[in-house]
Structure formats: C-alpha cells, structure tokens
Structure 1
Amino acid sequence: MPLNLAAPAHHELLIKKSRFIACVEPCAGREAALARVAELRAQHVGAAHVCWALLAGGQSAANDDGEPGGTAGRPMLEVLRHQDLEGVLATVVRYFGGVKLGAGGLVRAYTDAVAQALLGAEKVPQLRLSRLRCTLPYALEGLVRRELELHGAQLLAVQHGTLVEMSLALPEQAAGALLARLNEAGQGRIGWLRPDA
C-alpha cells in the first residue's frame, strides 16, 4: 500500500562547505509542487540550486535546477520510489560552498539529504476513497446519516427534492460493508447512482 507523509520533515547536510537543506512533504500534484518550489526560491534568494522531485501518479517529475543532468532530481525521485511513497514532494536547497563535489558526490549528497529527511518523517497509509451517490426517501435520511458516521464516510453533498440525494466518500475498504448495511436497512428503497452522473 502506498504511503504518504503526515507532515513535512526537514534535514540539513553540510558537505565540503556546501549546505543542502532538504524537505519532504505531502503534495497533491505538479501545480502545488511548482508553487512550493517558487516559494523556496523566494525564501532562499542566495541559494545556487533548488532541486526537486515529485512522486504523484501521472504528475511525477524531477528537476536538477542547473546541477549536472541526472545528479539531483532523478536520484531524489528514486529515494521516494524506494520508500513506496505517493503524493510526496522532495526539495533540496543548495548553497554552494566553493568546492565542486563531482557527479558522484552530488548524487550522494542529494540522495542522503532526502533519505535523512525521510527518516524523521511520519509515514501514513494513503487511503483510497470510494465515491458513492444514492437516492432515498426522507424517512430514511436519519438512518443513512447515522450509518455514514459509523462507517467513517464523509457526506459531500445533500439535495432535497422528491427524494433525498446524497453524495459521499469513504475509504475503499469500508465501502462494501456500508453498501451491504444500507441495502439491508433500506429494504430496497435506497437507489444507487453512478458517482459521476
């Protein structure tokens, strides 16, 4: 099961007078990652490089930010992959200390900075959510709301018309039990709709 991070974690390395400031944090996608990198550039105006790697499904990316190709972003991304993370951004801000580290030294420095930050990070299972939509008579609304709460479902929207229409989300592994319970309790009076309809 893929893991995410409960909160950002940081680590700083000093290698041959170069300072590597690493941060690993939850991140939903490329747009959020680019905004975070821009924020770091503004905070660290004197930094030589702000390298980053994002592991977020189809939006995964790596950026060396001027370091020799393949010495920063890609190795950072491999650290995230190796730890089975998803929806995580790793950034390393480098202040150049005047001593060149060579390609191997750079790979080790960026890899170690991210790996050390991850050692201090709290990893949590990434829950996959199921989205459901249903219609029901007004008389069952109270019962359904109680069952949603008991099963850890989040009520996303409610519309009152001829029938009550509810949209909800809950962890994938709890969806089957909730459906079975509501079908039994509703005695066939709860209608299930496609979530995207």
Structure 2
Amino acid sequence: MFTLKTATSFEETIKKSLFICHATPITSAEEALAFFQTYHQADATHNCWAFKLTQSYRFNDDGEPGGTAGRPILQAIEGQELVNVAVLVIRYFGGIKLGTGGLVRAYGGTAAKCLHQAEKEKIIPTTLIRCTATFSEMAMVKSRLWQEGVQLISEDFTENGVCWILSIPDEQLDVLSAVYTNITRGRIFEKIET
C-alpha cells in the first residue's frame, strides 16, 4: 500500500468542461471532509469526491448521475493501491453533455492522472508495544531492539529501570519480540491497542 507524500493538483478540459482535481494525504474521515470543504468551489457545477482510509471509504457524486463520479474517483485511488488519500474533482460544465460513460471516464481519468503524477510513499504497517528494562538490561535491550524502522514514542524512567513505548514494523515484530524475551529472561512485549 502507498499514500501521497504531499498534496497535488491537476486539471484538464474534456469536451469544453473543465475538470480540476485536488488530492491530499489524510489520516481520518474528518480530515478528508475538511479538505473537501476547503477546496469546494461554490460556483462550480459539481464538486465530486472520494476518500479511502485503511479501514473505510466514502464517495459523493454531488448531483451527477449515480455511480458516474464518486465511485470512479474511488476506483482511481484503489487502482494505484493508495490509502489515506482524499480526492476532489471539480467540474465546470462547458455545454456539451458527456453521457454516463463519458462522465465515468472524465472523473475517473482526471483523478487517475492527478494521482499518477503525485509523489508517493510506501506505508509500512506497524504495531505499538510497551516494554520495560531494568537498568542492567537497558543498554543491551536498546542496542538490539532499536533497529531501522523502530521508532521511540516515549521513554519513562522508574526506580527499577525504564519503560519504552515503541512503534515496530510488523515484519520485524516476531524477531524483535523473541530477542526481547531472551534478553529479559521471559518478559514479553505488551501490545498497545490503538
């Protein structure tokens, strides 16, 4: 899976109708809706959109015939294996009707071209874990667990040692869990539900 690194825009004219596309990375449905509100053009004929998060999606045809705008935009997002992305396609009607097939191609095509030109980054699934170390274990645990991709979220010292919250790439979780259990003589990672 991938997401966008930064916001991007694209526009094209299809049979005298102007299609303007704005796309951005998002982290929530609320962020997507705020993005659509920010870029919404009140004087445009239609403001159609779609967003996709890892666990959900939504789309809106904004008065275009059902399934001819929002869904093709969503399919453009999915076609490029993107998540956590919001796409708005604004149409200024130019006087020539496109028909349902033409609308599908116009909305989906404009969104796809916009997303195609955007700089993307791979999403690496991670898990938040809590782990502890005594003062005598601390240096060894730190040197063995903190590998590339592992991020320190928080570090709290106690009278006995330290408690760390780490974000660990899922592909490294089993190996690092075994290393941690071995160093700490049986303690296990505590997964944090998000």
TM above 0.5, yes or no, is yes
Question: Deviations 1:141-176 (Å, cap 9, x if unpaired)?
Answer: 344334444343111122222432111102111223
Contact 2:124 2:169 (8 Å CA) reproduced: yes
- 1:140 corresponding residue in structure 2: 137
Contact 2:133 2:184 (8 Å CA) reproduced: no
Q: Closer, same or farther in 2 for the Cα pair 1:30/1:13, shift >3 Å?
A: same
Identity of aligned residues (%): 36
CA–CA distance in 2 between the matches of 1:143 and 1:9?
45
User: Of 43, 51, 54, which aligns to 2:51?
Assistant: 54
For the residue of structure 2 that corresponds to 1:58, the secondary structure is coil
Contact 2:46 2:92 (8 Å CA) reproduced: yes
Deviates more, 1:31-40 or 1:87-96: 87-96
RMSD (CA atoms) = 2.2
Contact 2:76 2:109 (8 Å CA) reproduced: no
User: Of 74, 99, 104, which aligns to 1:102?
Assistant: 99
1:171 aligns with 2:182: no
For the residue of structure 2 that corresponds to 1:118, the secondary structure is helix
CA–CA distance in 1 between the matches of 2:67 and 2:187?
55
For the residue of structure 2 that corresponds to 1:91, the secondary structure is strand
Gaps of 5+ in 1: none
TM-score of the superposed pair, with normalisation by structure 1: 0.85
Q: CA deviation at 1:72?
A: 0.3
- 2:122 corresponding residue in structure 1: 125
- 1:17 corresponding residue in structure 2: 16
Runs of 4+ in 1 over 4 A off after TM superposition: none
Deviates more, 1:59-68 or 1:2-11: 2-11
Q: CA deviation at 1:194?
A: 3.8
Question: Deviations 1:113-168 (Å, cap 9, x if unpaired)?
Answer: 01111221233321100111112112333443344443431111222224321111
1:32 aligns with 2:23: no
TM-score of the superposed pair, with normalisation by structure 2: 0.87
Which letter does structure 2 place at the counterpart of 1:23?
H
Q: Across the two proteins, how many residue pairs are aligned to each other? A: 193
For the residue of structure 1 that corresponds to 2:189, the secondary structure is strand
